[in-house]
Amino acid sequence: MRILAINPGSTSTKISIFDDHDDTFTMNIKHSTEEICSFKCVMDQHSFRKNIIVNELNQAGILLSSIEVVVGRGGLVKPIPGGVYRINDALLRDLKLEIMGTHPSNLGGLLAFEIASEIGDNINSYIVDPVIVDELDEMARISGMPEIPRVSIFHALNQKAVARRYAREHWKKYEELNLIIVHLGGGITVGAHKGGRVIDVNNGLDGEGPFSPERSGSLPVGALVKLCFSGKYSYEEIKKKITGQGGLVAYMGTNSAYEAGQKAKGGDEHALLVYKSMAYQVAKEIGAIATVLEGRVDAIILTGGIAYDEDFCKWIEERVGFISKVMVYPGEDEMKALAEGVYYALKGEIEIREYS
């Protein structure tokens, strides 16, 4: 099965060819600021990006006619259960209307559909586990303030892919397991996976949960309200302090966990305190989410870029190892996650859903 995976970013478009689930070709196509700024909005870029993808495949000697399936990164569509979705008219409409917001990932489904259509009428296109996946239990939505319900925005693509990978490696079905999966990246999300659903997870986009390289994490509410009304900061400045300029950026002036880790291990006491505190907060979030699963946890899985840091993972494991075994799947291979999702769906192991 030859699969084309497409992942649009703000200044790049990543494409990969998979034969079954083996990556045989990958290219990260960079777009200059001038090219991107020449378009009024993200949606206007779709023809530009499609033509570049097709040209790059042709130059690499990959015939479009050899591609059997096209999968794109899921965008900001309506909150939906996780899984693999065939791209249909309703999905295309909501991507084009950007009903949940503007983001380059909205182009993923559109590009996948257009390239699949160009290949032939019998070529299907899909999206897999977009960030807007929502499988929360109703109790998880209650925040304590009716005007502010808790919402599900997390690293769904990577968390779900790692969960299914762990299940296959242990001869289980994802739906049979209770897992705590921790994505350690620029944002950090900790999900409770029960029976194939993420029934509770922190909103990693808005800074809820542990602080991370770029996000403040959950803050003392009273002090935050006082800061908001102090007159020192605008609404946009407060938002940036929470997402973009919080966490390691605020304490250490870098959004690189690697750089922070090197300073921490090189004798910088302040860096060590902050870096270990981030691991401490992750462990505390894992402990909290374990109560959602009533302590019945088959495994705690650490993934994402920071999971390459063995010391960071060890600091977490020292605090949560009593709950369950800790497994580490470092990195965030979005292209592999997209290809694996659609591959196993077409093999009948994952349900193919219809968006409506």
**pLDDT confidence of residue 200:** 97
d(CA 82, CA 135): 7
Residue 188 identity (one-letter amino acid):
I
d(CA 244, CA 207): 9
- 178 and 234 part of one domain: yes
CATH code, domain carrying 34: 3.30.420.40
Q: What is the pLDDT of residues 282-326, one digit of tens each?
A: 999 999 999 999 999 999 999 999 999 999 999 999 999 999 999
**pLDDT confidence of residue 21:** 83
- 317 and 340 part of one domain: no
**Which stretches of the chain drop beneath a pLDDT of 70?**
none
**pLDDT confidence of residue 116:** 94
Closest CA to 197 of 265, 140, 125, 281: 140
Domain total of the chain: 2
- 233 and 205 part of one domain: yes
Q: How far apart, in Å, are the Cα atoms of 46 and each of 8, 89, 104?
A: 10, 17, 10
Contact present, 217 and 247 (Cβ < 8 Å): yes
Residue 165 maps to a domain = no
Residue that is written with structure tokens 């892919």 in the block:
161
Residue 198 maps to a domain = yes
- 6 and 69 part of one domain: yes
- 231 and 289 part of one domain: yes
- 97 and 7 part of one domain: yes
Tell me, yes or no, if the pTM score tops 0.85. Answer: yes
- 106 and 54 part of one domain: yes
Residue 156 maps to a domain = no
**pLDDT confidence of residue 339:** 94
Closest CA to 12 of 33, 30, 27, 37: 30
**pLDDT confidence of residue 147:** 96
Torsion angle, CA of 187/287/178/303, rounded to 10 degrees?
A: 30
Contact present, 145 and 138 (Cβ < 8 Å): no
Residue 140 maps to a domain = no
Range of the domain at 40: 2-134+335-354
**pLDDT confidence of residue 282:** 98
With vertex at residue 336, the alpha carbon angle to CA 334 and CA 341, rounded to the nearest 5 degrees, is: 95
Residue 142 maps to a domain = no
**pLDDT confidence of residue 52:** 92
